[in-house]
Structures are given as C-alpha cells and as structure tokens.
Amino acid sequence: MNRDEKVLARLIFANKVYSSSGQAYEDLFCNIMSKAYPDFISIKPQGSLGDKKNDGYRKEIGRYYQVYAPEEPGENEAHAIKKAERDFLGLLDYWQGIHPIREYFFVLNDKYQGSFPTIEKTLEDIKRTHKLASSGVFLVKHLEDLLFSLDDDVIQAIIGFIPNADNIGMIDYLSLREVIEYLLKKRKPLVATPSLAVPEFDEKILFNGLSNRVKALLDNSIYQIGLLDEYFYKNGAAIKQELRDRLSEKYQNASNLDFGNVPQGVTRGDLMFFHILDELIPPDNRSQSIEEATLVLMAKYFDWTLAFLKKDRATSVLCGKV
C-alpha cells in the first residue's frame, strides 16, 4: 500500500473499532492475533462451560488474553477492574493445570481513549501476587500497531476493501482531520507569559528568521502540544509517522517555492509558515478555532515544518542571496 492507501486503511480500522463491542471486537482481536502469531489459539465458548476466562492464548510462552469491549469504555471503569480480577482467578483455576500462566493481558477496546490508572494498578498487583513475568492492558493502539506490522494483503483481508485513494477527494486532509478534531475538543485558551519561556523554541524561531508576529502565534501554541502527546499516546504509531511525513513534505515543497520579492517587514520564513498553515487547513472548513488547533500541530512538528535546513542557508550565502 502507498501512503494514501494506508491512511484509508487506518480510517477503516478505526471505524471497525468504534463500531465493535462484545463479541465483534473479540473476533477482530483474534483474527489479527491469528495472522500475527501462528501459535495463537482462539478459545470459543463451549456451551455452559464457556471459555473458562480465556479468549485466546499462546501456550508455548504461557501468554493469556481476556477481552473486554464495552460500548462506552469510559463509563465502565469499576466493572473493568472487577472483570480483570475475576477473570484472572477463573483463568487460574482452570488453565494453570493445563498450560502454566506466565503472562496475562486484559484486552480493552478503549476506543482510543486510553487506559485507567486503577486498572493498571490492578494488573500490576496480579502480576506481583501471582509472580507472573508480565501483565498489562492491551489497548486498541497496540492492536493497530500489530495490524500494520503485517503484509499489505493480510491487512486488506482483515479490514476489507480499501478504496482507490485517487478516487477520493481531499485525501491529503484525512490524515489531519482526526488530530485536529481531537485538539478542538481538548484545546483551552492560553496566553503565553515570560515565566513560561522555552529557550530552545526561541532559538529555532531566531534561526528560521521568523517575525515577531509568527513568534507570538507559536508562543501561544507550544504550551498546548501536551495535548498532541496525549493523542499520540492513545493512538498507534502509524498516525504519528504519517503526520510527521506529511508535514515534512509540505515543508520541503514550501522551501522550493519562489515567493518573489518579500514585502518589507515580512521574512521568507513568514511566507513559508503561512503557506504551510494554509496547506494544512481544508479549504471548505476554515475557521479561527481550526486555525488555532492547526497551529498547535505546527508547533509540535516545528522541526519538520519550520526548521529551514542549514544547507539551504549555506547555499544562499554562497550565492550571495543573504
């Protein structure tokens, strides 16, 4: 798959995650695990006996999985904790005598919301009490990373038909939409103050020859990049790499543009900055709030979108342009 097809594949996978609860998510999980690990064995309920609290396992290494996929994971923290504890005891009671339990993973369809500190503690307590080699929460982001580590034909077999990216308009904005929407929900107004100065960031602004106008925009944005870190923590690695690549590509394209005569009071760096910002915002969905959220994204990826290459600066000096 090319980059655009991977963007579509990830969106299809995310839709499957959001629409899957209960058995549907367990089936998705077991399908991916079976393709990734030939030794993975899916356990189906057997009448009144059920599955004895084992939804799947890799018996040679003693790694067991129990799936929990509520419709609204954020509203079921207490139930998730009880289920993790109860299911492990049931697992221990039946399976320990068959294939020793060395690792226990609680598979949670968190729908990209992340885990709970309390359930993390619960699983760590289980690990210590029962002297396991490993125990933890297996989130959607982990399943996504596993899926996209597989061959392209396997990915397509799991998620289904992937449309031709050439037939879908505005494909360039699909990879940005999700993170922008997240920032719009989480972002809070914040005015930078001298006490919050970030020297390294100021050095980059000076190096790139940006004006005070652009500096002010970035100063207000950099203090919210923690929201992006939160987003990337909850999501798989694919979206982070995709955004990095696309922003880097937009910088490279902007660095090759001829802006003509630069107006007085404006730097070439400013023109590149606003060109990239304009490129990132969908033309049919422009607003101040979307622009502000996009600025947070640009601040996070300052090295890719704004760090003008030293070799470009050196070439300009040699050519007598600066």
Q: What is the pLDDT of residues 91-123, one digit of tens each?
A: 999 899 899 999 999 999 998 888 889 999 999
How wide is the angle at C-alpha 298 spanned by C-alphas 296 and 302, nearest 5°?
Answer: 120
Q: What pLDDT does residue 243 have?
A: 82
Q: What pLDDT does residue 283 have?
A: 66
Query: 265 in the Ramachandran plot: left (φ > 0), alpha (ψ -120 to 50) or beta?
Result: left
Q: What pLDDT does residue 290 have?
A: 78
**Tokens 């207490």 sit at which residue?**
78
Residue 272's alpha-carbon distances to 68, 112, 243, 278, 300, in angstroms, are 48, 34, 18, 10, 17
Residues of the chain whose pLDDT is less than 50?
A: 167-168, 190-197, 199, 307-322
Residue 18's alpha-carbon distances to 5, 13, 22, 28, 241, in angstroms, are 20, 9, 12, 12, 22
For the chain, the domains span: 3-159, 169-318
Pair 254, 307: CB distance under 8 Å: no
Tens of pLDDT, residue by residue over 227-264, are 878 888 888 888 888 888 888 888 888 888 887 777 77
Q: Which residues contact 305 (CB under 8 A, 6 or more apart)?
A: 247, 248, 250, 251, 273, 276, 298
pTM over 0.75? The answer is no
C-alpha 61/C-alpha 147 separation (Å) is 21
Q: Which residues contact 138 (CB under 8 A, 6 or more apart)?
A: 65, 105, 106, 107, 108
N-terminal to C-terminal alpha carbon distance within the chain: 43
Q: What pLDDT does residue 163 have?
A: 60
Q: What pLDDT does residue 271 have?
A: 84
Residue 149's alpha-carbon distances to 40, 55, 145, 260, in angstroms, are 16, 22, 6, 45
C-alpha 238/C-alpha 141 separation (Å) is 9
C-alpha 313/C-alpha 246 separation (Å) is 23
**SS3 call for 69:** coil
Q: Which residues contact 93 (CB under 8 A, 6 or more apart)?
A: 52
Q: What pLDDT does residue 318 have?
A: 34
